[in-house]
Structure 1
Amino acid sequence: MIDESILFESQYRILRPIAEGGMGRVYLAEQLGKSGFSKTVAIKVIHSDHLKSSVFRNLLIGEAKLTADLVHENILQVYQLIDIRGADAIVMEYVHGVTIEGINARLDDIEDYIQPDLAAFIVSRVARALAYAHSKRGRDGRALGIVHRDVTPTNILINWQGVVKLSDFGIAKAADIRSIDEKHAIVGKTPYLSPEQARHESADGLSDIFALGLVLYEALVGRIAYPTNDVSELVAMHEAGPPTSVLSYNPDIPPQLEQIMLRMMAMDRADRYQSAADVVTTLELFLYASGYGPTNEKLRDYLEILFPNVDKTRIDLTPPKPTGGKNEDSVDPTEAKLGSKTVFRRPRTR
């Protein structure tokens, strides 16, 4: 029995919003404890518009339960499910860094492309996360059947030390978690849907692999492979064949890497890699077969050059001063997520 004298109630100090999504908002916060204990965390809260919706509440609770035991270097960690003024909220790991979307926005500004080996490295880390999640078993030993269903550039974060994190299992499905029925609703952001998802068929691990191939395409050239928010138009694009070759944008991309990407994005499920673990093996053979290849440290150094004016060693925990205007609710552009619709970028001239 635990001695009640050693128990204490942790509290949270919410500092400022850092990201926005279709379901909720993410805040930078401090977890406060006994004897001056303090831990920087992120807290995801359902939008006030959705507080009365059992669907959104079930999604948030399902995300917390699903990811509680997903302990992996490349998966954003969830710490606790709490109540904040009557609203359910998830306390999770705070990543001081940038999303793939943020990297591409910066590359748009300077009209350049990421080093292909670093793009492959980032995607290989996400593939490691998916391989772990797809094969995860519950405490009773049964396969959980986890499918992320939202593998997109805004849900892949890289901290300033070069560690890649897959986040937002908010619409993931698993055997024991209530989620949206794919037969009645499209689940995921339209440009990143696999052909089977666009046809309202059930998603599985191969659907996540398809989406990750699309992420690799976008990371390499800064263009969305299938730029549409209309599902019917997306189906027509899929039927028309592969998107424009990445080599036509950047001829410095190794053809072997493009072939790996195209297999991930194969329209016929039988032609795709049959597991995320296969993707990991193939990408790592590509990256390291000839010797020393990309590392977290190499990615860290690249981000240092790409974002020279960002303070990567200090997290500003000072709450913003109320201004009475819109700026007090602003979102950090290097950490922000888009909503359900995707913004399409202009082409780079290089």
Structure 2
Amino acid sequence: MPKLSDRVNTFTDSVIRRMTRISNQYGAINLSQGFPDFDPPKAMLDALAKVAYKGPHQYAVTFGAQNFREALARKQEKAIGRKINPNTEIVVTCGGTEAMMSAMMTICNPGDKVMVFSPFYENYGADAILSGADPIYIPLVPPTYEFDIRLVEEGFKAGAKAIIVCNPSNPCGKVFTREELMAIGELALKYDAFVVTDEVYEHMVYAPNKHVCMASLPGMYDHTITCNSLSKTYSITGWRLGYLIGPAEVIEGAKKVHDFLTVGAAAPLQEAAVTGLNFPETYYEELLELYTKKRDRFLKGLDQIGLKHNVPQGTYFVMIDIQEFLDLPQFAGFTDLEFCEWMIKNIGVAAVPGSSFFREEVNHLIRLHFAREEKTLDEALVRLEKLKELL
């Protein structure tokens, strides 16, 4: 057999999705891969039912159905603080994953450098490699996940063409402050670079924290490519509807990349999702209230068990410190991955090993999520109580 591409040997399959497969095998409660176990809004389901018979069922315009792009523009121009041209400044993708890949392939030439904050959603490193770029990792230091802006400037001085900012951040739940984003933006302007943002969790930001779009900051619209998705906001991770927003010249390039990657997102799902994009502001307020209650309930349960964790400022993820368990004789030599596999089989709860998110040598953290119904979270906490018996 001829030799395969060298790039496929530079990263593994998704550890997150692997944990789901193992969880399914053993019937564990899946708190690893971040998707809800409750239905999307009824209005969107009703719209989808109508679309099933009325259509459309054939290709939409490759870069997104007209009414879908117009609805996206209306919704997002509030956050970005300017009018968005739905015809020249938006491209609809097959989920946020393809949005990020399209952005990277649009701006990167082989050998370009791209900065990535660590910990990072595992796709970012692979995206950089697949687009021919070399990643430079900037540490977000636990437990507060702050960073040294001097390292960001060093990356730009080293020739980084872009920096990826996930805000709020998966996996650690960090919400970048306006001051932090301004500092990053000023450097991007100084070195004539791009900021590629992932803002999938924009509506899950817990008080007193505030979500700030990088593209809304002074001078940053022309230097920012905003990647986003409907998956988390409307609990439709399986619909795979994402999008890019950015300056027309960038989006024109991204349209071509997207066209040859996937042709286009599903036409009937775009049609049904317009209903969600037209929801009033109260929907997002209620969504935040829902996830705030889930976060508080889950963190309280973790505290009662005695598990050490951070307090996420956004997203629905929480990082758990398992060092005290790894120090026990029965886990001598265990990696965090092996501990997660042991948890699935013996505790009945699936988590993601933190090492899959960090470039640094981090083996003592695991990620859980709380996008579950209350009864599911309560049962997961009951199972996690078994960990106390080990100490």
TM-score normalized with structure 2 length: 0.29
Query: Larger helix proportion, structure 1 or 2?
Result: 2
Q: Tell which has more relative contact order, 1 or 2 (C-alpha 8 A, sep 6+).
A: 2
TM-score (norm 1): 0.31
